[in-house]
Structures are given as C-alpha cells and as structure tokens.
C-alpha cells in the first residue's frame, strides 16, 4: 500500500519542483527601501571674500632721545609717560664753558663790525685802499661763523623734543654724566599707528592702497580698529612667497601701542556666487563631490570645485548650476543610483512647530 502511494505521489512532486524552477527569482526579490535625506536647492548668494592676517603695530614716528656731547645733566624737565609738544625742552646739560665761549665770540664779532665801519669811512675818504676794507669784511664773516658755531654747541646742551608724542621711561637724573649716544628717553608719536602685516602673493591682486581694513586686539575684546591700506611692499619674499603690507589706523585715544599683535581682516567687494552647506560636500582624498537628485528620485555623484568658506558654507566654482537640488543630510549612506526619500519639507515643518511651541510656552 505504501509503495503504491509513493509511486503515485512521485510524479506530482517532480511536477511541482519543475514548476518552481521555471519562475524568475528576481520577481521574488524585495524592492530596496528608499533612504531618507534632506536636500537644498543650489542658488546664487551675495559673497564677500575675507582674508585674515596677523600684524604688528608701530608708532607713526619713533625716536630714542640721546645726548650729543659729554656733559653733566643739570635739570630734567619731564616725567615718565608725559605728553610733550615739538620743541619742548626735556633736559638741560651743564654749559658753563660754552656760555663763556659764547660771550667771547659775541664780543669778537662786535669788535670786528666796529673795525669794518671805521674802514668803510676811511675808504670813502680815500685814506686807505679798498683792499683793507675787504680784509676787514672777511674778519667780520669769520667772527660771525665762530659765534654761530658756539651757539650750535651750546644748543646741544639743551635737549628738546623733535616732534609731539608720548615719552617713555626717564633714563637719567640730575648730576648724571652723559656721553654721545647715552639714551635719555624714548619718544613715540602714537596719534597714528602703522600696522605691518604680510599676505600670500596669491592675494596680491585683491589689495590696493586706500582699501579699508579692520583689526582686533586681545587687549580690547569686541572692539574694531578701522584703518586703510597705505602701502604695499615693492617685493615678494622669495622664501615665504608673501608681500608686506602697511596700513594706518587713527589712534586718538592712544589705546594702541607700538609692538602690539593685531588680527587683520581684509574684506573684498561683494560679488555673486554659488554657495552650498559644507556638510553637503563629501571629501575623498583631493576630490570633493556632492549628490545631486535625479528626476527618478535617485542620486548621482557630481564632482565639484570648491572656493572659499564662510559660516558653514562653501563656494562652488564648478560642477553645479543654480536650481540643482543636492543632498545635505544623509550623504554618508548614499551611493550613485541610490533611491532616496526627501524629508526636507517634513523636517522644516517639525522645526517650525517646535519653535511655535517654544514661543507659546
């Protein structure tokens, strides 16, 4: 009985197996699920190039006040950090010997002039030859030169400020014996500050005299110091491939001092450029690419050339056009041809709802 049953069922089983083999296995394969992503549309925006550099400040005018002669300090007429005007007397040096020499030279000059007047009268009366008058005139000129030289030596004993500015620390006291080159103090004109910095040669065409800059100091957080580019260096450093730039900053309140380190911001004229979120860019070695949406809800990988960056955005120089829609979030799980589901609208609505709820609380 069992043998008869097996013989009857065997043809049926073989028929079922053959029927199953005739079916296409791809028809039973599940359709891949769409990957959820958020997207954005590439559009032009206002772009302003920004360059940052480090600069060092210097005084508009700066000098070390030194002695010109060997002499003793008689009087010091300033204190540390004084504001002085041009020509103000800073230090008096002992000049008693020069004062005596000045009186002697002055007397000799007066005597020579008197002799010349007498010679002039005698020459007019034809009592002496004209050559004697010429000799006396030369004697007057010589006496005048000796008087001027004595006055110059005496002026070296009175040290004055060559220009208006702020004095540094006093290095001498009354009674100090100074010699030529002895430092008495420093003088800086800081009403205007010079700011020297360097930029790469690739930005050379973006700079010009008269261009506005802003600078910041760690000593004054949140304060902008504005100025203008005054001069560009005549040479590019062959080692660093950078060019020196000098700017000027008005410093009426004397907040800035020579030798400070400032961060310089250079802003270029505004222009229009394609900009996309930085997180939309996938970097592989030296190549950068984004995923662009296709009409069939799949994505294609597009190589892009990037420019400058700002505030989580990056400039696109080539590879995309205005109006292209690209993936922003979810790029890590995508491959070329991946099927996607764009949830940008739902995400934006949820974010707006959360903001409304927060305002209503």
pLDDT of residue 171: 93
Quick one: CA torsion of 161, 164, 165, 169, rounded to 10 degrees? Answer: 20
Which SS3 state, helix, strand or coil, does residue 273 take?
Answer: strand
- With 90 as the cut, is the pLDDT of residue 289 above it? yes
pLDDT classification of 311: cutoffs 50, 70, 90: confident
**Range from 118-132, 324-338, 340-354 carrying the lowest mean pLDDT:** 340-354
- With 50 as the cut, is the pLDDT of residue 355 above it? no
Contact 120, 133 (CB under 8 A): yes
pLDDT classification of 148: cutoffs 50, 70, 90: low
What's the rounded Cα separation, in Å, for the pair 189 and 212?
22
DSSP 158-227: EEE-SSSEEE------TT-EE-TT-EEEEEEEEEEEEEEEEEEGGGGGG--TT-EEEEE-TTSTT--EEE
- With 90 as the cut, is the pLDDT of residue 32 above it? no
Domain 51-60+189-267, CATH homologous superfamily name and number? Efflux pump adaptor protein, beta barrel domain (2.40.30.170)
Any idea which architecture 35-47+272-347 has in CATH? Beta Barrel (2.40)
pLDDT of residue 110: 78
Contact 339, 297 (CB under 8 A): yes
Q: Which residue has the higher pLDDT, 75 or 112?
A: 75
Residue among 36, 45, 77, 63 at smallest CA distance from 275: 45
pLDDT classification of 269: cutoffs 50, 70, 90: confident
What is the mean predicted confidence (pLDDT) over 276-285?
A: 91
What residues contact 227, with CB distance under 8 A and at least 6 apart?
193, 195, 212, 213, 214, 215, 247, 248, 249, 250
What's the rounded Cα separation, in Å, for the pair 119 and 130?
9
CATH number at 95-156: 1.10.287
Q: Where are the domains of the chain?
A: 35-47+272-347, 51-60+189-267, 95-156
Q: Which two tokens stand for residue 62?
A: 């700066």
What is the mean predicted confidence (pLDDT) over 129-148?
A: 73
Query: Across-strand partners of 264?
Result: 53, 215
pLDDT classification of 349: cutoffs 50, 70, 90: very low
pTM: 0.59
Contact 78, 189 (CB under 8 A): no
pLDDT of residue 151: 65
User: What proportions of the chain, in percent to the nearest 5, are helix, strand and coil?
Assistant: 30, 40, 30
Burial of 264 (0-12, 13-18, 19+ CB in 10 A): buried
- With 50 as the cut, is the pLDDT of residue 14 above it? yes
pLDDT of residue 155: 65
Contact 242, 198 (CB under 8 A): yes
- With 60 as the cut, is the pLDDT of residue 15 above it? no
pLDDT of residue 281: 93
- With 70 as the cut, is the pLDDT of residue 201 above it? yes
- With 60 as the cut, is the pLDDT of residue 21 above it? no
What's the rounded Cα separation, in Å, for the pair 239 and 204?
16
Length of the chain: 361
Q: Which two tokens stand for residue 42?
A: 């590439």
pLDDT of residue 28: 54
pLDDT of residue 236: 92
**Range from 73-87, 103-117, 302-316, 327-341 carrying the lowest mean pLDDT:** 103-117
């Amino acid at each position: 009985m069992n043998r008869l049953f097996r013989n009857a069922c065997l043809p049926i089983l073989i028929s079922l197996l053959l029927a199953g083999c005739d079916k296409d296995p791809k028809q039973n394969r599940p359709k891949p699920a769409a990957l959820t992503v958020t997207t954005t549309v590439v559009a032009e925006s206002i772009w302003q190039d920004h360059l940052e550099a480090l600069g060092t400040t210097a005084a508009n005018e700066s000098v070390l006040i030194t002695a010109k002669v060997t002499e003793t300090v008689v009087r010091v007429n300033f204190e540390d950090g004084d504001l002085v005007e041009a020509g103000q007397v800073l230090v008096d040096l002992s000049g008693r010997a020069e004062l005596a020499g000045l009186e002697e030279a002055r007397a000799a000059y007066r005597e020579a002039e008197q002799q010349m007047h007498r010679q002039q009268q005698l020459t007019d009366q034809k009592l002496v030859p004209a050559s004697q008058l010429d000799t006396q005139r030369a004697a007057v000129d010589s006496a005048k030169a000796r008087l001027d030289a004595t006055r110059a030596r005496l002026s070296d004993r009175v040290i004055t400020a060559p220009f208006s500015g702020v004095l540094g620390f006093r290095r001498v006291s009354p009674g100090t014996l100074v010699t030529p080159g002895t430092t008495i103090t420093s003088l800086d004109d800081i009403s205007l500050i010079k700011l020297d910095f360097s930029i790469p040669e690739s930005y050379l065409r973006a700079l010009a005299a008269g261009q506005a800059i802003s600078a910041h100091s760690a000593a004054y957080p949140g304060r902008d110091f504005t100025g203008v580019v005054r001069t560009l260096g005549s040479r590019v450093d062959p080692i660093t491939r950078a060019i020196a730039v000098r700017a000027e900053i008005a410093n009426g309140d004397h907040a800035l001092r020579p030798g400070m380190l400032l961060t310089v911001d250079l802003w270029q004229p505004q222009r229009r450029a394609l900009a996309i979120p930085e997180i939309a860019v996938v970097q592989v070695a030296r190549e950068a690419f984004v995923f662009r949406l296709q009409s069939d809800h799949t994505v294609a990988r597009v190589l892009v050339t990037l420019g400058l960056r700002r505030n989580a955005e990056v400039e696109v120089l080539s590879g995309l056009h205005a109006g292209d829609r690209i993936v922003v979030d979810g790029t890590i799980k995508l491959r070329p041809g991946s099927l996607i589901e764009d949830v940008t609208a739902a995400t934006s609505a949820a974010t707006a709802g959360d903001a409304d709820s927060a305002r209503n609380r």
